[in-house]
Amino acid sequence: MIILGVFYNREFRTGGHTRYIELMEGLARRGHHVHVLLNSFLQYNPLFFEPLRRPVVYRRNGFPPASWIFAAAAEKEVAGLLHRIGSSDAVVVFGETHLAAGKVLARALKTILVYAHRSNGVRAALAFSAEARRMPVRRLSLLPRMAKAMLDERRIARLADLVVFQSAYDLEDFRSRVAIPRERVVIVPGDITGPRFRAECAEVNSSTAVKRIAFMGTLGQRKGVDYLVEAARILRSRGHGDLRFEICGPGERLKELGALLSRQGLSEMVSLRGKVADPFPVLKDTDLLVVPSLFDSYPNSVLEALHVGTPVIGSRVGGIPDQLRYDDLLFPPMDAQAIADRIERCVCEPAFYQSLRQLCSERRASFVFDWPEAWERAIGTRVAELKKAKDDQARRS
């Protein structure tokens, strides 16, 4: 197949960004002709796909929105693409920021748009609203965010020829609000078999007791890092001040969190690592990964922990139950007490901790599959369906 991608971000800010490039590389590695429009400011040299670079200047959360700028940049590429590649079997984009750009390209090349649903914005807004239940002004301020998320869903359903979800939860939740035919949706979960999941890192964690706890993710509200900090404070009050917490991840809240730790006297117990280029060495030396998200569609950190063999527990929200499944690996969202209780039980009951290791080992096997091949199959099936429908219509005419 000839596949066109577009990634105008200037950095890999989220796990979804990383996974998109991994997919494009994987499809190219499988023998497909993959071309990706890249921002010239992105410091990345592809191994397998062909990059088509253009400088794209935007301001995150600014005006005009990045999605508008990306669509305009894609429009400028149309003439060159028609001359260079002529046609394409599919345009593939991740996330709503590239939705409009993807549709510009799909229309110009008269091909299908494949959209990867990476984050459930409606459920995220509802989670933020629930957290702000005692702050009416804050809840009101979230209404525009909710409206935008619902509008985005309608645009996705209208513009995309195939929507790829990571979990059954997100798929069914999306379809509960938006009418979209079954043949236009599919589930492709994440995997732990791509090049980034290096073989030498597989199941290397051998912890026998919980002394070091880690968090990995962006430091914004959605990932719930504040609840882990509060859990650390609770555990210290219970006499577990010898535990060590590492908070790893990028975000504008590093100074704010540092000040919070200082005020609460937790600076020695909780360290802020900032962005970590390679999560696997950290996970190798971690006894327990905690994913305290208010909402999360399918966090990469869970897959990374399962790959290394590090026990992981997470909030019972979004796609995390699809990833972890077992009750002992899940806790209620926005509940620092529940997080502290689960960590304390791991500390005080070695047999319970070992049982979590076993459950995570069982879950690990579910993510050992060829991810690019699963995407190839999903795209190929949709292309064949639409071709057949077009041929049938031509015969009837």
Q: Mean pLDDT by 10-residue block, N- to C-terminus, for the chain (397 residues)? A: 97 90 97 97 96 95 94 95 92 96 96 94 87 77 87 96 96 95 95 93 96 94 94 97 95 89 95 93 97 94 97 96 97 97 98 98 95 97 89 78
Contacts (Cβ under 8 Å, ≥6 apart) of 295: 120, 123, 124, 126, 127, 222, 317, 318, 333
pLDDT of residue 129: 87
| 166, 243: one domain | no
Please report the pLDDT score of residue 142 as a whole number: 81
186 & 207 share domain: no
Q: What is the pLDDT of residue 5?
A: 97
Structural domain total, the chain: 2
Per-residue model confidence (pLDDT) at position 201: 96
Q: Residue 333 sits in a domain of what CATH number?
A: 3.40.50.2000
Q: What is the pLDDT of residue 352?
A: 98
pLDDT at 389: 81
- Domain shared by 290 and 390, yes or no: no
In this predicted structure, what is the pLDDT of residue 208? Answer: 95
- Predicted pLDDT of residue 265: 94
pTM: 0.90
User: What is residue 232's predicted lDDT score, i.e. its pLDDT?
Assistant: 98
| 68 and 187 inside one domain | yes
Q: What is the pLDDT of residue 131?
A: 83
> What pLDDT is stored for residue 15 in this prediction?
85
| 33 and 119 within one domain | yes
For residues 23 and 39, what is the distance between their CA atoms, to the nearest angstrom? 17
CA torsion, ordered 265, 216, 170, 118, to nearest 10 deg: 130
Alpha-carbon gap, residue 52 to 41, rounded angstroms: 12
Query: In this structure, are 388 and 331 located in the same domain?
Result: no
- Structural domain of residue 47, as residue ranges? 2-191+369-396
Give the residue among 253, 256, 234 at the shortest CA–CA distance from 243: 234
